[in-house]
Amino acid sequence: MNVSIVIVNYKSAELAVNCISSIKQFTHGIDYEIIVVDNNSEDNSEQILKAVHSDIVWVQTGYNAGFSRGNNAGFKVAKANYILLLNADTLLFENSIALTFNRLQERKDIAVIAGLQVNPDLSLMPYFRNRNEFRKFLYVVPNRFNKYLDKFFPEPHFEDPNQAELPCGAFMMMSRETIDKVGAMDEDFFMYAEDFEWAGRLRKAGKLCYFDDIRFIHLEKPSPFRRTNITPINKFGTQMQVSNLLWIRKEYGVSPYLLLIFHYVTLAIFFYAWKITVNIINLRNPFFQLRSQKIFGLKVWVFLKFFWKTLFKIKGFYKIAEADNIDVRFK
């Protein structure tokens, strides 16, 4: 067995069926197994998948375990020496899995190879490949201040043009030896940023790389935790940012985490005060059109619910409550 392919499923059986079909259609030259970890979909996912792909290995977590815990459950039953994390909402259109496996065999300096995400029309999908590029995104500042963020968060430079810092968790392959060396995925994360945190440890085992000839289609299925009402102010989802803040605290320490929290709290107060002042100047109701300010303020309030837990890195499951999913409440 060359590769164990781990797919986490949560109410996405039809997508997973198509994903597995594309694996079988385009993957050749290697031996592989497909492990589907179900996060208690509470539907007929198992029947749907096994009706088409009876040879899959089925693992049931018994609850919505999220991405880290779901993949870790798959690692425990994987038989191969190389493991591929693959999202259910992906499709292969080339022999990408075998190509990735063979390249890892050839390049012992590489710990992880991630696939390049493309849209169904095969156009490249943007993705953050270095940490500082993403850290700049976490700040809400006017465009004219971006030059200062660029100086504060310089981009890294590598001799290897294929090297990166943040592999895409939707398609990433590594050896079991690498996982044993750095540890499995951090189970404090429910969804988002878990691949960023893991990358910090994986970098200690070798290079993290992308290659132009290793690609996959990412459909990005709808999710109740995906960000909505996107504006320059409200540019991140609630669950996403809770996870991002946890990653910042774990990888960079207390000061960068506190700086971001201070940034968000200050902005929430400023945005309210600014809009109310504008309304008064224009002889309108002071509380006219405060929807965007309210969304941002409520998100910050959710971040603060996790403040002490994140500050002291208390072990647990950093999943927001259903009532705190601001993105859903303001659809």
For 262-307, the pLDDT digits (tens) are 999 999 999 999 999 999 999 999 999 999 999 999 999 999 999 9
Give the pLDDT confidence score for residue 224 in this predicted structure. 52
Q: How many helices (H) and strands (E) does the chain have?
A: 13, 9
User: What is the predicted pLDDT for the residue at 329?
Assistant: 79
| CA nearest neighbour of 131 among 221, 251, 216 | 251
Domain limits, CATH 3.90.550.10, in the chain: 3-127+166-218
Extract the residue ranges of the chain whose pLDDT is less than 50.
225
Predicted pLDDT of residue 209:
98
Output the CA–CA distances (angstroms, integers) from residue 182 to 65, 104, 205, 244, 326, in the order listed: 21, 17, 7, 20, 35
pLDDT of residue 192: 96
325: alpha, beta or left? (left if phi > 0; alpha if psi -120 to 50): beta
The whole-number pLDDT of residue 277 equals 95
Tell me whether residue 117 is exposed, middle or buried, using C-beta atoms within 10 angstroms of its C-beta: 0 to 12, 13 to 18, 19 or more. buried
Per-position DSSP letters for 114-142, written without gaps between them: EEEEE-TT-PBPP---SHHHHHHHTS---
Q: Which two tokens stand for residue 62?
A: 């018994």
For residues 61 and 37, is the Cβ–Cβ distance under 8 A?
yes
The DSSP element (H or E) to which 172 belongs, if any, is strand 171-175
Fold topology of 3-127+166-218: Spore Coat Polysaccharide Biosynthesis Protein SpsA; Chain A (3.90.550)
Q: Are 251 and 200 in contact (CB under 8 A)?
A: yes
- pLDDT score at 143: 84
> Rounded to the nearest 5°, which phi and psi values hold at 210?
-120, 150
pLDDT confidence of residue 316: 97
pLDDT at 142: 86
